[in-house]
Structures are given as structure tokens and as C-alpha cells.
């Protein structure tokens, strides 16, 4: 029997976002290594729409659901990926039973909340610091984010980078779906206020703009920018072909913790134009896989000059295999009872007879 891992998350299918992408890729890699990951999410639990973001459902009173799942699994390690109702229920379960757990910081909720309502950053960061403060370790996606959260008083931070499926996102796909209008500038991701999309849509450049994704701002921005092509969510080979057909991937966000879509573009040989902020700073190799500039139009113009072959090569270091090794290294072992004795291990990868 392999090691059982509980991956607790409020974000799961059918949502399309970086958290879901990361957890799916990590679970698949864990299975390849002989682990037994179990996703504990809000499926099957009564839920309500998230305020200002109805595509996201928030579980109502999921405590018993989460406890039953964890009691039945008897995991060797518990990782709480999100700070929503499901994550809160799992945290409460672990704290009450004195079970160690790890957590991860995927989303800049303080900045996201402030973009919608006048909630002070100090208040939001204080609550998040409290949430993650009981974790053995809190996983963060980059060194830049680690330093930033340390500055907000977070402790026990562990680097867990992200990866890209290099078999799916590759230069060989480039040119298979060339579209009219050159150059072609593309954005992939949520269409929401925190993504700062208008910085891209309002650029006065002789180019065709393509937005792939959906979200609460989709209809508003579609009406405001009729010359921009909005195609909604795309998946699988269609997404890869659309992405690979672009000349530049524009990433206007100022609040992302990483930006997996940037990696997917780079792997296809599509250079990125972005602001020099956390996320892009940890993904982009300046002048190779993209251009970071305070002036987004200047970043686009610079990215158009880059070599697509060298750009694709820059993605080779971002694999889910390497990212999952970091994930495993940070986990906190849980004592699992076998007969009358409690057994635990400081080195993961052992088999348990429980």
C-alpha cells in the first residue's frame, strides 16, 4: 500500500484556474510515483455562489463532510491548498486532533478583496497569517513570494514551484492554427478585475488581441472593447493551438502568485510581455522568454523581437516532476495507527500496513 495523501481544496473541477491545474498535475505525478492522493473538495456538499464571482461555489457547513473524508482515508499527510470553507474545516479538524498539516498560499486574497471592496490589506493579511500559522509549513510558489510573505510576518515558508506539461505545450504546435491579424497578442486566464486586463485591452498597438477565458468581467469588457476577440474558455488541443499561434502572450496581472499560463506560452515558444512584479519576475528570463517593463506596450514591442526557439528552451526547467519533488519534501508526516502502535516516518516513500 502506498502513502495516502489528502489534498484539501475549495477549488476543483469544473473550475478552470491555476490552483486546479496545479493540484491535478501534482496528483497525477504523485500517482506515477506510487502515492495515493485523495482530493477532498466541495463536491456533493451544499454550496452558494461566491460574491462577485458566481462561477466559484463555496461549501456550506462542510465540517462533517471533511471529517468523514479524513477519518475514512487515514492519510499519512494532509495538505490544505485553499483558505475557503473546505480548507477551514480541514484546518479545524487538524488543530482539534493535533494532527500536523501543511498549507499553500496560491492566491493574493488581500489584493483581490481590495480590488472589489475597501478592505484594509493589514486586516486580510492578519487573517491569512492566522490561518497558515498553525501549519507545519506553508508552501509558496517562488522566492519573491516567500520574501513578500515573510515581510508580512508569515513563518515556516517552503518553496513549491510550478511546472508545465512539456509534451502538450511545445514549439511543434506553433503555426498549426495561424489566425488572421498579425501580430497576434493573446491573454489566457480569468476575466476578472484582479487580472488588470484593461491594461492589455487598452493598448494602442497595431495588433489583433485575443482573450481566452471567462469570468465575471467577460460581458462588460466584451462590450467595452468590440475590436478584441473574446472566445471564452478553451481546453485541450484547441487551447494549445490557439496559444501557439500567438506572437506574444500578454500578462497584465499585478497580483498573481505565479502565472502557469505564462509557462504554457513560453513552452510553445511564445514570449511574454508583463510588468516586473512577483509572478513574472520568477518565471520570465528577461530578453529570452519575455520582456518585463513598467510600460506594457514597450514590453510587447520588445517581446515581438525575441527568438521563439530560445523562448521555448527557457521552459525546460519548469517540470511537474521537479515541482512535485519539492511538494513531497515539504510534507508533514501524520502518525497512522497499525494495531496498537502508532507509526510515523520522517522520510516519505515508505509503505504502511494500516
Residue range 136-193, pLDDT digits in tens: 999 999 999 999 999 999 999 999 999 999 999 998 654 544 455 579 999 999 999 9
- DSSP helix/strand/coil, 100: coil
Domains of the chain: 4-163+320-343 (3.40.50.2000), 171-317 (3.40.50.2000)
Spatial neighbors of 332 by CB under 8 A, at least 6 apart, are 77, 78, 100, 101, 102, 135, 136, 137
Cβ-count burial 124-160 (b if 16+ within 10 Å, e if not): bbeebeebbeebbbbbbbbebbbebbeeeebeebbeb
Instruction: State phi, psi for 268 to the nearest 5 degrees.
Output: -85, 0
Structure pTM?
0.87
Write out the three cell numbers for 58: 463555496
The beta strands (E) that lie in 177-326 are given as 184-188, 208-212, 229-232, 248-251, 272-274, 290-292
From residue 124, alpha-carbon distances to 22, 81, 104, 116 in Å are 24, 18, 16, 13
**Closest to 277 (Cα-Cα) out of 160, 142, 166, 163:** 142
Q: What is the pLDDT along the chain (354 residues), one digit of tens a residue?
A: 689 999 999 999 888 888 999 999 999 999 999 999 999 999 989 999 877 667 778 899 999 999 999 999 999 999 999 999 999 999 999 999 999 999 999 987 767 667 677 788 889 999 999 999 999 999 999 999 999 999 999 999 999 999 999 999 998 654 544 455 579 999 999 999 989 999 999 999 999 999 999 999 999 999 999 999 999 999 999 999 999 999 999 999 998 889 999 999 999 999 999 999 989 999 999 999 999 999 999 999 999 999 999 999 999 999 999 999 999 999 999 975 554 444 444 333 333 333
- Residues 258, 295: Cα–Cα separation, whole Å: 20
Q: Do the strands 77-80 and 102-104 form a parallel or antiparallel pair, or are they unpaired?
A: parallel
Q: What does the chain come to in residues?
A: 354
Amino acid at each position: 500500500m502506498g502513502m495516502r495523501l489528502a489534498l484539501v481544496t475549495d477549488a476543483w473541477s469544473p473550475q478552470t484556474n491555476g490552483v486546479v491545474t496545479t493540484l491535478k498535475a501534482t496528483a497525477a505525478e504523485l500517482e506515477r510515483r506510487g502515492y495515493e492522493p485523495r482530493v477532498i473538495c466541495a463536491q456533493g456538499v451544499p454550496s452558494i455562489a461566491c460574491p462577485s464571482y458566481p462561477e466559484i461555489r463555496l461549501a456550506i457547513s462542510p465540517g462533517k463532510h471533511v471529517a468523514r473524508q479524513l477519518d475514512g482515508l487515514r492519510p499519512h499527510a494532509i495538505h490544505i491548498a485553499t483558505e475557503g470553507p473546505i480548507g477551514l474545516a480541514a484546518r479545524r479538524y487538524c488543530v482539534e486532533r493535533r494532527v500536523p498539516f501543511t498549507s499553500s498560499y496560491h492566491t493574493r486574497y488581500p489584493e483581490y478583496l481590495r480590488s472589489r471592496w475597501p478592505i484594509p490589506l493589514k486586516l486580510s493579511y492578519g487573517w491569512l497569517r492566522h490561518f497558515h500559522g498553525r501549519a507545519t509549513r506553508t508552501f509558496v510558489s517562488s522566492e519573491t513570494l516567500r520574501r513578500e510573505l515573510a515581510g508580512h510576518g508569515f513563518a515556516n515558508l517552503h518553496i513549491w514551484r510550478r511546472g508545465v506539461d512539456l509534451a502538450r505545450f511545445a514549439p511543434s504546435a506553433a503555426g498549426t492554427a495561424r489566425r488572421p491579424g498579425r501580430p497576434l497578442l493573446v491573454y489566457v486566464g480569468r476575466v476578472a478585475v484582479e487580472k488588470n486586463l484593461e491594461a492589455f485591452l487598452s493598448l494602442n498597438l497595431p495588433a489583433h488581441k485575443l482573450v481566452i477565458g471567462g469570468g465575471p468581467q467577460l460581458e462588460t469588457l466584451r462590450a467595452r472593447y468590440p475590436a478584441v476577440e473574446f472566445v471564452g474558455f478553451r481546453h485541450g488541443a484547441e487551447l494549445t493551438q490557439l496559444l501557439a499561434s500567438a506572437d506574444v502572450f500578454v500578462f497584465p496581472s499585478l497580483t498573481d502568485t505565479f502565472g502557469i499560463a505564462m509557462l504554457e506560452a513560453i513552452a510553445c515558444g511564445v514570449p511574454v510581455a508583463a510588468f516586473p512584479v512577483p509572478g513574472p519576475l520568477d518565471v520570465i528570463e528577461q530578453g529570452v522568454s519575455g520582456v518585463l517593463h513598467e510600460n506594457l506596450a514597450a514590453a510587447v514591442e520588445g517581446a515581438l523581437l525575441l527568438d521563439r526557439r530560445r523562448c521555448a528552451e527557457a521552459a525546460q526547467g519548469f517540470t511537474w516532476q521537479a515541482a512535485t519533488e519539492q511538494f513531497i519534501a515539504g510534507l508533514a508526516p501524520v502518525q497512522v495507527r497499525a494495531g496498537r502502535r502508532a507509526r510515523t516516518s520522517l522520510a516519505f516513500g515508505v509503505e504502511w500496513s494500516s
